[in-house]
Structures are given as C-alpha cells and as structure tokens.
Structure 1
Amino acid sequence: MSNLSVNTTQNVNLDYKIVGLGERIVAFLIDGFVLYMYIILVNAITSAMGLVFDDDWTVFGLRALIFLPAMFYTLICHILFQGRTLGKYIMKMRVVKIDGSPVHWSSYIVRWMLRLVDIWLFLGAVGILSILFSDKKQRLGDAASGTVVISTKQKTKITHTILEEVKDDYTPVFVNVTQLEDKDIRLIKETFLIAKQTADYKTMKQLRLKVESILGTNSGLYDREFIDTVLKDYNYYTQNM
C-alpha cells in the first residue's frame, strides 16, 4: 500500500492512501456509464429534432454540438469539483498534487490531454502498466502533471491532530492564547489526552499550572475545563485569522 503525506495549513501531517488500479478502473467505468447515458439522451433528443427539421445536416450539427461537452467531461469535472469526477466522488477519491499544494487548472489539462496515450490509443495498456509499475500509482498524465489520485476515506481523526471542533458561535476566553505555537498546542493536547485516559489528575494539574504560567493568567477554572478551553481558543483564533 502506497501513502502520500500532505502537510495542512495547521502544520498537521496527514497520510492518505494512494488509490490502486482496481479502484481507478471502477471509477472510470462509472464515468463511462454516465457518458453512455448522456449519449442515449442526446440521441433521443436529436432524433426528436429530426421530426422538426427537414435538413439532416442541421440535426447532425446540433447533435455534434450537444456531444461536445462529453469530450471534455473529465477535464470540466476535475476543474469544477476539485479533482473529482462523478466516478471518483462515488469511489471517494480525488486528484491532488504530490506536494499537497492546490492543483492548477493547467495540470488538469495535461492529465486530460495524456488520456489519449494512457487510455485511448492503446486501449488503456499504457495507463495500466504505468500505474502498476509506478511507486505512486501514477499514469503518464499524473507523472507529467505532478499529480496523484488519493483516497478520501480519511482514517485520521480530529483527536489525532491539534485541531478542535469549534462552533461558529463560540466565544473565546483567553485572547493571549495565540502566543502559543502549533508545537506547544500539539504537546498540550497529547499530554491532556493521555492524562484523561489514565485518570492522571496530578499530571493534568501540572499541565494547567504550566500553561497558566505561560499565558500569565489565573483563570480559576478546573484543570480539565481550562485545558479544553485553551485548545478551543487557539483553534478559534488560528482558524479565523
């Protein structure tokens, strides 16, 4: 199993599973079915138009015009839906840059153009072989655009990061909590969680006293309530800056 490590804006490393050949083929078939249904619909509409227009060339031109979006289906979907087609959405996967940066539209164009080599010219043989023998399961289009297809079935829980769930109407208590850094919050949260799980109240008290000394405050809150508030305050300010 191949993984891709992405660093978030909160300086949290998240490991994503890189999607293998089987799942990508299923997503491709789903997209193919969508296009097939679109073609049937277009044929039905243009056939009905044939009853209105006597000129067959007019009907042919309208059919070709309506078919045009199907040719750009994957390109349009990837750009509009942040690296997803309907097939990728159903299979819970998306296209991302290897370095974790946002995918530029030009990268999607490169991937789309190389589908001609990866899929159509050689009946998918080039794409299949390149995915099978690539460390990051990339077809030629991925390699050329610096992208990779990852699974969005994320196993990383919020409790494993420095992030905290903060409601929109949350009111922070400690304004000077921003003098702490991500590494400080990560250490505080890890110590806090361990102390809660082991019912280590002595460590929790020492942690509260230490954080209070750093912030220069005497809150009067209980140990658990104080640390929980500090974590939420930090996330409130850093997420809304």
Structure 2
Amino acid sequence: MDKLAINTAQNVNLDYKLIGLGERMIAFLIDGIILLTYMTIMENLITISDIFEADAWTRRGFLGLFLLPAFFYSLLCHIFFRGQTVGKMILKIKVVKVDGSPTEWYNLAVRWMLRIVDIWIFSPSIGLLSILLSDKRQRVGDAAAGTVVISVKKKHKISSTILEEINDDYEPVFSNVTQLTDKDVRIIKEAFTISRKNNDFKTLTLLKTKICETLGIESKLYDVQFIDTILKDYNYYTQNM
C-alpha cells in the first residue's frame, strides 16, 4: 500500500494512504453528477421562465452565463474546501502538497489548468495512465503542481501521539512548557496514561514533582489536572508558534 509520511507541527510522523485510480474515479463521477444536475436545472429554468422570452441567441447567452460556475466548479471547490470537492469529501480524500502540507491556490490553479491534458484532449487516457504509472499516484496536473491525493480517514488515535485535543478558545496556564521537548512530552503522556489507567497515584505525584522541578514552577492543581494542563499547554504553544 502506497503511503505518504506527513510530519505534524509536533514532529509526529503520520502515514496517509495515497489514493489511486478507483476512489478518484468515483469522486469524479459524483462531481460529474452534481454538475450535470446543475446544468439541467439551469437549462430548464431558462426554457420555462418568462424572463428569458427572447430570441435563441439571447437565451444561449444567459445559459452560458449561468453555466459559468460549472466550468470553474473543480477549481473553486478545491480552493474554498481546502483541497476537496464534494465528491472528495464524500470519499474522504484530499489534495495536499507532496510534503503533506496544505495546498495553496496556485498549486490548485496549475492542477486545474492541466485537466485539459489529463482529461479532455485525449479523453481521460493521459490522466489514467499517469496515475497508474506514477509512484505517488499523480496525474500530470499533480506532478506539475507538486500535489498528491491522500485519504483523510482517521486511522490514528489521538492517544497514540503527543497530540491533545484542545478547544479554539483554550487558555494556557503554564507559558514555560515550551522548555520541554517532544520527547519529554511523549514520555510524560505515556506515563500519565498508564498511571491513570492503573490508578497509580504515587507515580502521578512523582511525575508532577518532576515536571515542576524541570520547569521551575509550583502548582496547587491536583496531579491529574496539573499533568493534563501541561500536555494541553504544550500542544497550544507548539500549534501557535
């Protein structure tokens, strides 16, 4: 199975599955159905609406205007939905840069413009072959834009990394937690998780004492609350640096 290694802000490596032909074709078909439905509705509206009781050329002009969003559908969706169209959202796949970072608008613009090579000039044959033959499952547009398509289905539990779930409005308590390293925090979290599971209160107390000594702080928080706060504070500051 082809995978893409992504390094998070906390230097945790996560492997994501590179998406090949099958899922991309299904997403493409879903988007095609959406576009076809939109185009059919627009055509019917212009046909039955009294507003467009004009000559055929005028109706065609209005139809072309209303169908313009369909022409830019893929580009606009990828930009506004951060690398996804509706089809990709349903399939839980996404376009990212080859280093795993989010795409920029110019990556997506290059990728979209080269659809003319991948899909339209020789039918989809060029795009299909390039995906099948590429090590990173890239079509020509992906290779030129420096992008790949990955699965974003959650396969990694947050507890298996040093990551902590924090709310957007979270307020940190200990600003000097940045003195700790990723290795320190990983050890703290592993010891914290095991000690809580086994109700090992002695280890929790020793862990709190060691953290306080390392950071040169004092706290009246209970052991569990203190260590949990340390983990969340570290994630808050490393995510916002």
The equivalent residue for 1:149 is 149
Q: How does 1:77-116 map to 2 (within 5 A)?
A: 77-116=77-116
Looking at structure 1, the residues matched to 168 and 50 of structure 2 have their Cα atoms a distance apart, in angstroms, of: 56
The equivalent residue for 2:67 is 67
Q: How does 1:142-181 map to 2 (within 5 A)?
A: 142-167=142-167, 172-181=172-181
How many angstroms does 1:205 deviate by?
A: 4.7
Q: 1:220 to 1:42 in 2, by over 3 A?
A: closer
- Where structure 1 has 5 or more consecutive residues not aligned to the other structure, the ranges are none
The equivalent residue for 2:29 is 29
Looking at structure 2, the residues matched to 178 and 155 of structure 1 have their Cα atoms a distance apart, in angstroms, of: 28
How many angstroms does 1:235 deviate by?
A: 2.8
CA contact 2:46–2:52 (8 Å) conserved in 1: no
Q: 1:187 to 1:78 in 2, by over 3 A?
A: same
The equivalent residue for 2:3 is 3
Q: Deviations over 1:60-91 (max 9, x none)?
A: 11111111221111011111111111111111
Q: Deviations over 1:36-66 (max 9, x none)?
A: 1011111101212477433111111111111
Percent identity, aligned pairs only, is: 58
Looking at structure 1, the residues matched to 61 and 169 of structure 2 have their Cα atoms a distance apart, in angstroms, of: 55
CA contact 2:9–2:238 (8 Å) conserved in 1: no
Q: 1:109 to 1:221 in 2, by over 3 A?
A: closer
Looking at structure 1, the residues matched to 53 and 149 of structure 2 have their Cα atoms a distance apart, in angstroms, of: 46
The equivalent residue for 1:229 is 229
CA contact 2:5–2:15 (8 Å) conserved in 1: yes
Q: Secondary structure at the match of 1:16?
A: strand
Q: Secondary structure at the match of 1:150?
A: strand
Q: For structure 1, which segment, 197-206 or 25-34, has the greater mean C-alpha deviation from structure 2 after superposition?
A: 197-206
- Where structure 2 has 5 or more consecutive residues not aligned to the other structure, the ranges are none
Q: Deviations over 1:145-168 (max 9, x none)?
A: 110011110211211222222346
Amino acid at match of 2:160: H
Q: 1:50 to 1:60 in 2, by over 3 A?
A: farther
Q: Deviations over 1:94-120 (max 9, x none)?
A: 100011233121211111121112112
Q: Secondary structure at the match of 1:123?
A: strand
Looking at structure 2, the residues matched to 5 and 185 of structure 1 have their Cα atoms a distance apart, in angstroms, of: 21
Looking at structure 1, the residues matched to 75 and 169 of structure 2 have their Cα atoms a distance apart, in angstroms, of: 39
Q: Secondary structure at the match of 1:28?
A: helix
Q: Deviations over 1:168-202 (max 9, x none)?
A: 66565544323223332122212333444566666
CA contact 1:112–1:141 (8 Å) conserved in 2: yes
Equivalent pairs counted in the alignment come to 241
Q: 1:106 to 1:41 in 2, by over 3 A?
A: same
Q: How does 1:128-139 map to 2 (within 5 A)?
A: 128-139=128-139
Q: For structure 1, which segment, 169-178 or 227-236, has the greater mean C-alpha deviation from structure 2 after superposition?
A: 169-178
Q: Deviations over 1:121-153 (max 9, x none)?
A: 222111111111211111111111110011110
CA contact 2:118–2:140 (8 Å) conserved in 1: yes
Amino acid at match of 2:137: K
Q: Deviations over 1:4-41 (max 9, x none)?
A: 11122232222211112111110000000001101111
Q: 1:28 to 1:203 in 2, by over 3 A?
A: same
With the length of structure 2 as denominator, give the TM-score of the two structures: 0.88
How many angstroms does 1:224 deviate by?
A: 3.9
With the length of structure 1 as denominator, give the TM-score of the two structures: 0.88
Q: 1:120 to 1:231 in 2, by over 3 A?
A: same
